[in-house]
Structure 1
Amino acid sequence: MPKIKTKFFLLFAGLLIITSCSDDDVTAVEPEATCFDGIRNGDELGVDCGGICFNTCFDELVLEGELVTRRILSSEIEYTLNGPYIIRDGAILEIEAGTIIKATPNNDSYLIVAQGGQIYIYGESDNPVIITSASENPEPGDWGGLVICGQATTNNGINARSDLGDIFYGGNNNIQGSGTIRYLRLEYTGALFRNEKRFNALTLYGIGSSTNFSNIQAYESMGNAFEIFGGTLNISNLVALNTGLAGIKVSGGWTGAGDSWYLTNQNNSGIELGNNPINFDALPITDAFIENITINGPLTNGALAYNNGGGFFNLFNIYTSSISLGININSDIESLMVDVGNLEIENIEFENPSSNFIPTNYSGATNFYSEGIAIGAGNRNELPDWAQNWTIGF
């Protein structure tokens, strides 16, 4: 009998040990975050800095050089863009809603996403991301702009070099994605690159159709507000105010669609529509559908300028006001493109034109446009509802 009790006691003790080990596994607690563990955790804004840590994240404040990993920019930090900042192949830059980045003027400051890199800007309608000048008295041309290079088709071939930033773009991956941008404001852009060409607020080279870009404003750009060169992306809800050149320039074999563009006070033209500035016959030919556009003058080169060899364009619901020239057909070459039906514009309205207004300088026989009542980007000449709260200058 004593032997049985001993065996039972040992069995019971063994069960207690097993149960105790199991309970330890369930209630295991992660080590508490500290300001000395070499990890960004807790509410820290960087590695062992910011948040509960009293030291400032000085290294986290400056954007310059190259990004080769993943980086998240916090709305709790005001960043300085201090020269070129390149998002390399495989790297990802994420920017939270409400983040402000200030670019150092006259310092070759610009942000560029290389092929294979991605950018995710998560602004909100009442809390946009803002990239602006660091000057106390900002002016157009204080810094470069945002340039994104993709792997989709352009009519400059595969592995072309960008004339802004001088990196590769183009390829055959037409569904490639370069990221997401929503509710972004780009202010005081348009500095010269290598004293040769002005940056645009946003320049897109060969961007694929899996990219999602919408609700972007270019404010006080000395170059174009937006330029789309090749690619297959669709892009919507663009706003341009006070632009030194064109509001939007599209060419390079772009085969996408544009919707809801609101443009006011462009110095040159509202929208430039072309194929290739060097080789007018380059393939693939630009082939785009654009609708719901407002173009408010004044401007000097036409609300719509058809140039650089033309291309295939279908436009619908175009509202214009305070302009002297509606549709500028640039030369005899583009006139031939109109003759064969490559440019079609349906329902364009010319409201409150200047005293010397002409709808087009085209003198051929083709009736390529039709006039009608247009609402444009939403509210005719007024800022559309979708552009309220996150834009400035209106």
Structure 2
Amino acid sequence: MQTFLNKRLFKMKTFNFFAKMLFVMSAVVLSACSDNGDDNSGGGGGTTEQILFGDGTQIGNGDQEFTIKESHTLKKGTYVLKGWVYVDAGATLTIEPGTIIKGDKATKAALIVQRGGKIMAEGSATAPIIFTSNQAKGSRKPGDWGGVILLGKAKNNGNVMTIEGGPNADHGGSDDTDNSGVLSYVRIEFAGYPFKEDQEINGLTLGSVGSGTKLDHIQVSYSNDDSYEWFGGTVSAKYLVAYHGWDDDFDTDNGFSGKLQFLLSVRHPKIADYSLSNGFESDNNKDGVATTPFTSAVFSNVTFIGPIGQDASFANTTQYITGGDMFPDNGSKLGTFQAAMHIRRNSRLNCFNSVAVGFPVGLILDNEKGTTQTAATDGNLKLQNLYFAGMTILGSDINKNYLDQLSTDGKTISDAGKPSFSSTFFRLTANNNKVYDNISDLKLKQPNSLIASPSYAPSADSPLLGAAAFTDAALQSGFDKVSYVGAFASDAAADNWLAGWTNFDPQNTTY
């Protein structure tokens, strides 16, 4: 009997030991994600939802349907994002400053914030939140992982729409003040995995995101598609950087109507997309139909640094544009550069107080679908107080055409003896735009991303200083009334909003 009792006692102690160990291990895994004080029972018998796996540093389980259904706080640390991770309606994912999230290449990782869900990613200048590649330093490429997608309930001109790129996620509604959370002091690097041909997620994709959302101090680098793309919505933003992207830098579609100020776009002269890469690409919708709300976003104080002038041997050909060390060999196709601004398909984009240098074409107002030129003539599309320098030609009216000749249909030359509508409109006295033959005429400090210490700010004697104007009605609210054209007043510490949180060499950074 005593032997039996001793064996029973040993078994009970063993069971209790393993039970305690299981409890401790579960607590460790779940402690990295606190519940923010929310009730996280989730209807699952009172157990807290698990979003971290393995050793507690893996977000998602690696498939393309993982959904965060409850609110969690991701403590400061380094994590690997695996598969498609959705933040569901009613849930909030909070990410602490200084957190690093690495997208997994094998599972095509992406973070998708659904309509009604929120992300609270509020870093700081000294502790930015970083989304980057999980590949080793020195071997990172554009398209190593998917990207970040925010979806909201604001209006677009296509009703409820499925976001491009592959995720099973909708956006759109009637709440223009909808709040999808915060992205502040955030970097997104090496995103844009092509899930199918011509179906890449952008670095940062915004679908019908409402004005209650806060976007500022965001850098997207080496995206394998557009750096930023807005599909409808009303969200505004300040202090955005698009660095060495593959396709377009700032793409606006489907009735986007936000206000944006202080943006920097920098091209790498060897990286361009098959579809032709632009600074702005703007559509009302893919068919150019005059549906409302129109794409009518208002931009001010943008600096576009094109490929020309950064490399003395630059040639806008696929023999030169090779992708260099950043060619991902993932199905993406290299192409050539096109325009600083390509506005088409009934877009009514507005841009003020901005500077663009070194593109094959300055401006394309494209009438192939819709009546974009009429919108410009009628004052519904405003391009004012813009400074262009070092363009091969000032304007073209036809996509993929590098001739400054008049076209009214966006397909054929109407009159080869007349300059394009685009260049004529740009030079209208009322628009107060300026054209310089040479980039150096603008007296930017060091506008070359290929040198060790570039500076995209104006020198003290630059014509950009004191040249801004904020008299147009579109600029009366939501904009800082600064005196300078472009994104910077100078490169002095007090004026340098890039300081501390940006990174222009993520390939060689140890994360």
Give the TM-score normalised by the residue count of structure 2. 0.63
Give me the whole-angstrom Cα distance separating, in 1, the residues matched to 2:158 and 2:56. Answer: 38
Residue deviations 1:207-262, cap 9 Å, x none?
A: 11111111100011110000011111111110011011011101211122111110
Q: Deviations over 1:66-96 (max 9, x none)?
A: 1000111111x31111110000011110101
Specify whether residues 138 and 104 from structure 1 end up closer, same or farther in structure 2 by C-alpha distance, changes over 3 A only.
Answer: same
- In 1, Cα distance between equivalents of 2:492 and 2:372: 32
Highest CA radius of gyration, 1 or 2?
A: 1
Q: Which has the higher strand share?
A: 1
On the 8 A contact 2:33/2:75 being kept in 1, the answer is no
Alpha carbons 1:179, 1:211 under 8 Å: kept: yes
* Structure 1 CA distance for aligned equivalents of residues 109 and 142 of structure 2: 14
Query: C-alpha separation between the residues in 1 aligned to 2:189 and 2:54?
Result: 25
Q: Could you say if the C-alpha distance between residues 38 and 221 of structure 1 is closer, same or farther in structure 2, counting changes exceeding 3 Å?
A: closer
Q: Could you say what secondary structure the match of 1:337 adopts?
A: helix
How many Å apart are 1:153 and its aligned residue? 0.3
Code of the residue aligned with 1:288 in structure 2: it is A
Q: Closer, same or farther in 2 for the Cα pair 1:79/1:37, shift >3 Å?
A: closer
Greater shift, 360-369 or 128-137, is seen at 360-369
Q: 1:301–1:328: 8 Å Cα contact kept in structure 2?
A: no
Q: Which of 216, 223, 226 matches 2:218?
A: 216
8 A contact 2:342–2:365 mirrored in 1: yes
- d(CA) in 1 for partners of 2:290, 2:231: 15
Q: Alpha-carbon deviation of 1:37? A: 7.4
**Code of the aligned partner of 1:135:** Q
CA contact (8 A) 1:182 1:215 kept: yes
Which ranges in structure 1 are unaligned for 5 or more consecutive residues? 1-33, 48-55
The answer to whether residue 114 in structure 2 is matched with residue 114 in structure 1 is yes
- The match for 1:290 is 299
Residue of structure 2 equivalent to 1:25: none
User: Does residue 432 of structure 2 align to residue 370 of structure 1?
Assistant: yes
1:1-394 alignment, distance < 5 Å: 36=23, 45=32, 58=54, 60-64=56-60, 65-75=66-76, 77-136=77-136, 137-157=139-159, 159-164=160-165, 165-265=167-267, 267=272, 268-298=277-307, 300-311=337-348, 313-332=349-368, 333-351=371-389, 353-354=390-391, 356-359=392-395, 361=404, 363-364=420-421, 366=425, 367=428, 369-372=431-434, 373-374=463-464, 375-379=485-489, 385-393=496-504
Higher mean displacement: 114-123 or 276-285: 276-285
Deviates more, 1:238-247 or 1:378-387: 378-387
Q: Is the 8 A contact 1:320 1:381 kept in 2?
A: no
Q: What is the alpha-carbon distance in structure 2 between the residues aligned to residue 46 and residue 114 of structure 1?
A: 19
RMSD: 2.7
1:343 to partner: Cα distance? 1.9
**Contact 2:86–2:112, Cα closer than 8 Å, also in 1:** yes
2:490 and 2:496 in contact (8 A); partners too: no
Please say if residues 296 and 381 of structure 1, whose CA atoms lie closer than 8 Å, have aligned partners that are also in contact. Answer: no
Q: TM-score, normalised by structure 1?
A: 0.81
| Residue 379 of structure 1: how far off its partner (Å) | 4.4
Question: Partner amino acid for 1:388?
Answer: A
- Which 10-residue stretch deviates more, 85-94 or 362-371? 362-371
Distance of 2:185 and 2:224 partners within structure 1: 21
Consecutive unaligned residues of structure 2, counting only runs of 5 or more, are 1-20, 35-51, 61-65, 309-336, 397-403, 407-419, 435-462, 465-484, 506-511
Q: Offset at 1:334?
A: 2.3
Displacement of 1:381 in angstroms is 9.8
- Give me the whole-angstrom Cα distance separating, in 2, the residues matched to 1:46 and 1:69: 11
Find the aligned partners of 1:181 and 1:40 in 2 and give their Cα distance.
29
Task: Indicate conservation of the 8 Å contact 1:345/1:370, yes or no.
Answer: no
Question: Which region of structure 1 is more displaced relative to structure 2, 100-109 or 78-87?
Answer: 100-109
2:410 is matched with which residue?
Answer: none
